[in-house]
Structure 1
Amino acid sequence: MRAAILISVWALSPATAYALEADAVVGTWRLVTATRKIVDTGETVDAYGGPKPNGWLNYDKDGRMMVICSYEGRERPVANDKMTDEDRIKLHKSFFAYAGTYKIEGDKVIHNIDTSWNEAWTGTSQVRNIEYKDSVVTLTTAPFKFNLDGKMSVITLIWEKYPRS
């Protein structure tokens, strides 16, 4: 009887997030939202220019991954051949992309970067906490100095499976 009650409680309890198995992450993911928690103040703000940044993440079954993200509200230069250095700086600061291999270890995903928009990242590893619930993957960084203002921050990225099933 006690076992039946415990099973009933477990079955009726809300679904909880859990770490992904390596094959569950395979596919294309669309960025839904990106928030940034500033460690010193606890304030949470939009991480990439606004509530709707544009981003895509792909994990392949061969162990390769790619990610590309652009901030919301990026300014469009007049034309490629008319861009100023200031235009290029703004574009660089409001975009990131990298590719490499990945592996999942418990509740962490490790991206080993072999190509990046920023050569400072090439040859490094980016480690994220990873959770999965209802076709949504949440990636969270460890605290780090945010590139635009140097404030210690934690970024939380919410990705939804594409196409949504």
Structure 2
Amino acid sequence: MTRARPDSNPALLGTWKLQSFTTEETATGLTTNLFGIKPDGYLYYGADFRMYAILVAHGRKAPADLVPTDMERIELFNGLCSYAGSYDIAGDEVRHHIDVSWNQSWTGTTQVRRFRINGNCLHITTLPARNPVTGNECVSVLLWDRLT
């Protein structure tokens, strides 16, 4: 596979802060804020073709102690999406080749995203796929603001 050099789209390089994350179920058209109305997270694309993404739900509660109970651990996990790997660009698509992830079923896969940049805002749209949180087929739209 021919990989586009990241510097062929230097506007993508750097660190981005999550502003919104909405999910639309393909069967029903139902749109939700899966991680709440003010999710938090960061996305990074490096000139070395490496990337990482971490997203957390709005309002996550700290466990009562350093070591979470099983229920606290489940709640924390359900409000998390995180992965890292390499990436390549082809036109308006960026492909994340996942080396490590919060959900082992994503490790070793390629997640394709469509993207566009408007000024300091990065729009990322997933392709229709089964959501690892709900199990339903959906499309997610994530808006990111440039930090660096």
TM-score, scaled relative to structure 1: 0.80
> Cα deviations across residues 62-108 of structure 1 (Å, max 9, x unaligned)?
11101111011212210123x21111111111101111111110110
Which structure has the bigger radius of gyration?
Answer: 1
Which of residues 22, 47, 52 is equivalent to 1:35?
Answer: 22
Which of residues 55, 79, 83 is equivalent to 1:69?
Answer: 55
Determine the structure 2 residue equivalent to 1:129: 114
**Which segments of 5 or more consecutive residues in structure 1 lack a partner in the other structure?**
1-19
Q: Secondary structure at the match of 1:80?
A: coil
Determine the structure 1 residue equivalent to 2:45: 59
Letter in 2 for 1:25: L
Determine the structure 2 residue equivalent to 1:114: 99
Q: Secondary structure at the match of 1:51?
A: coil
Q: Secondary structure at the match of 2:122?
A: strand
> Cα deviations across residues 101-124 of structure 1 (Å, max 9, x unaligned)?
111101100011112122211111
Aligned residues: 142
TM-score, scaled relative to structure 2: 0.89
**Which segments of 5 or more consecutive residues in structure 2 lack a partner in the other structure?**
1-6
Q: Secondary structure at the match of 2:106?
A: coil
Q: Identity of counterpart residues, as a percentage?
A: 39
| CA RMSD in angstroms, aligned pairs only | 1.6
Q: Aligned partners of 2:140 and 2:90: how far apart in 1?
A: 20
Letter in 2 for 1:23: P
Q: Is the 8 A contact 2:55 2:81 kept in 1?
A: yes
Give structure 1 regions of 4+ aligned residues with deviation exceeding 6 angstroms: none
> Cα deviations across residues 30-75 of structure 1 (Å, max 9, x unaligned)?
0010111121221222131x11100100111111101111011212
Q: Is the 8 A contact 2:11 2:117 kept in 1?
A: no
